[in-house]
């Protein structure tokens, strides 16, 4: 392999700022901050959202009732095409 063509692949700490969970993994990301864990200094990347804090994964996501949406659409559509509805029935 050629030297100086690949980015540095090293251990990095990803910090979820909402839950304060720290994940150590390998990455090529460039960071300005560092953190010391277990006597070793790692580059630090702060994440706004991870699977620990995202509503989809935590179950806090509000579910939209599909039947309510369909009924609202039908009511709006019936109002907008009030004259066309009886003609279509004939």
Higher pLDDT residue, 86 or 55?
55
- Condensed to tens digits (0 to 9), the pLDDT of residues 30-80 reads 999 999 999 999 999 999 888 777 766 566 656 555 567 778 888 888 877
**pLDDT surpasses 60 at 90:** no
Instruction: Answer for the pair 40, 24: CB distance below 8 angstroms, yes or no.
Output: no
Q: How confident is the model at residue 86 (pLDDT cuts 50, 70, 90)?
A: low
Q: How confident is the model at residue 10 (pLDDT cuts 50, 70, 90)?
A: very high
Whole-model pTM: value is: 0.58
In the chain, how long is the greatest CA-to-CA distance? 82
Question: How many Å separate Cα 9 from the centre of its chain?
Answer: 25
């Amino acid at each position: 392999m050629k030297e100086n063509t690949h980015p540095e692949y090293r251990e990095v700490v990803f910090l979820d700022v909402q839950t304060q969970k720290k994940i150590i993994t390998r990455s090529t990301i460039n960071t300005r901050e560092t953190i010391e864990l277990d006597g070793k200094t790692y580059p630090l990347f702060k994440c706004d959202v991870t699977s620990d804090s995202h509503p989809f994964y935590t179950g806090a996501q509000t579910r939209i009732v599909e039947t309510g949406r369909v009924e609202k659409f039908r009511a709006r559509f019936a109002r907008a095409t009030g004259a066309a509805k009886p003609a279509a029935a004939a």
